[in-house]
Chains A and B, each alone.
Chain A
Amino acid sequence: MQNHDVDQAQMALPIMRITLGWLYFSAMLRRVWNVPAKMNPSSPLYVGGKLITFIPHSLYIRGILQYTLLHPTLLFDFLVVWTILEGVFGLFMMLGFMSRLSGLVIALLAWGIGLGAGWIGTTCLDEWQIAAVEGAAALVFAFAGSKWLSIDQLLIKKYPKGLKIGRWSIPLW
């Protein structure tokens, strides 16, 4: 009976997985495919400028934001890395590939951006709501994985204890 309950809970997870993954995968798409100027430092659309708007009420990370903004090369590298992480782990989350690792990475991305942007939102508490719910949702996957309608369901049959490196088993799915 207990196993049956767990299975049903697992079967509900793809509903969240696709949307959560898309929120991150599409963030990469908007910058790389829809509007590439967002990643062009000399364009007024450059997303690097968003970091300035975080500064006034950011929590814990003000010094990092200020240092990064004063070093344009570092800022660009940071945006490239961030965008790749969003695109890759957003896609992984949608596909259900390494769901537990993807959940952890997405939770850190959500909470990280939330420390800066969390106070912004002209209509509602927009950015805070996004960061809080995405972080919590992603952390669910870090613990539960996703064992249905996922690539992980194939991996878990073959490697039920996760990725084996020597005597260690890392539960990536």
Chain B
Amino acid sequence: MQKFVALLIIGLIIATGYTFVTYQYFFAGFTNLHNYSKTPAYVLNGSKVFTNGTVVLQIARVDGPDTYGGFIVLLQLIYQNGTTIYQWNAEQLGSIPQSHIHNEYPLHPVKSDKFALVVPLGQNASVMLQVPFKLKPGIYTLRAYDVDGQDSAYGISFSVTVQAQQS
């Protein structure tokens, strides 16, 4: 009987611990409540810009609904002085050949769907893009816009600043 009670108390601690620890870890419910499923967020770290005009967009979808989207409808390449050198609109992003997209995981791939670049939750892909002219050396910012018009969510900016590489 004593052994049973000891085990029971361990079970109580495990069940309660799981509930409270995951509540805090997933939602910060005891401090600063958040829900990362509400709206899409993207991380562009690892993207590359080359002076011959080649741009490798490294895009990971890290937040938002699991069953739908997200949809990138505008991608801007901004020079260090703040001018937008080039931008890819929804039509262009919606027609990238699959051979130019390399997905980290085989399921739920990033793909163009005619209307946008679709980036499923959890996927991480590199997308080969080409600016139709040569780029000056310097520092460039790549900025993506979700179809809801946002370029940031949960404090994550959908942009990355990189030094152009010689090609």
In the assembled complex, the CB of A142 is this many whole angstroms from the nearest CB of chain B, namely 7
Inter-chain contact B122/A52, CB cutoff 8 Å: yes
Q: Are B27 and A139 in contact (CB under 8 A)?
A: no
Question: C-beta contact mask, A118-129 vs B, less than 8 Å → 1, else 0?
Answer: 111110010010
For residues 92 through 120 of chain A, which have their beta carbon under 8 Å from a beta carbon of chain B? 107, 111, 114-115, 118-120
- In contact, A119 and B26 (Cβ under 8 angstroms): yes
Q: Which residues of B contact A49 (CB under 8 A)?
A: 107-108, 120
Rounded to whole Å, the gap between the CB of A54 and the closest CB of chain B is 7
Q: With A119-B26, A119-B36, A122-B37 as known contacts, state yes or no: A54 contacts B11, CB within 8 Å.
A: no
Given contacts A132-B22, A136-B15, contact A53 B121 (CB under 8 A): yes
B136 within 8 A of A: no
- The segment out of B47-55, B58-66, B93-101, B140-148 that lies at the interface is B58-66
- Contact flag A131-B105 (CB < 8 Å), given A50-B66, A125-B35, A143-B11: no
B23 at the interface (CB under 8 A from A): yes
Contact check, B123 vs A52: say whether CB atoms are below 8 A apart: yes
Q: Which residues of B contact A (CB under 8 A)?
A: 4, 7-8, 11, 14-16, 18-19, 22-23, 25-27, 29, 35-38, 61-63, 65-66, 105-108, 120-123
For the A-B complex with A111-B18, A139-B15 known, give 10 more contacts whose Cβ atoms are closer than 8 Å: A52-B122, A53-B66, A72-B106, A107-B15, A115-B22, A119-B26, A132-B19, A136-B18, A139-B11, A143-B4
The chain A residues found within 8 Å of chain B, CB to CB, are: 46, 48-57, 59, 66, 69-70, 72, 107, 111, 114-115, 118-122, 125, 128, 131-132, 135-136, 139, 142-143
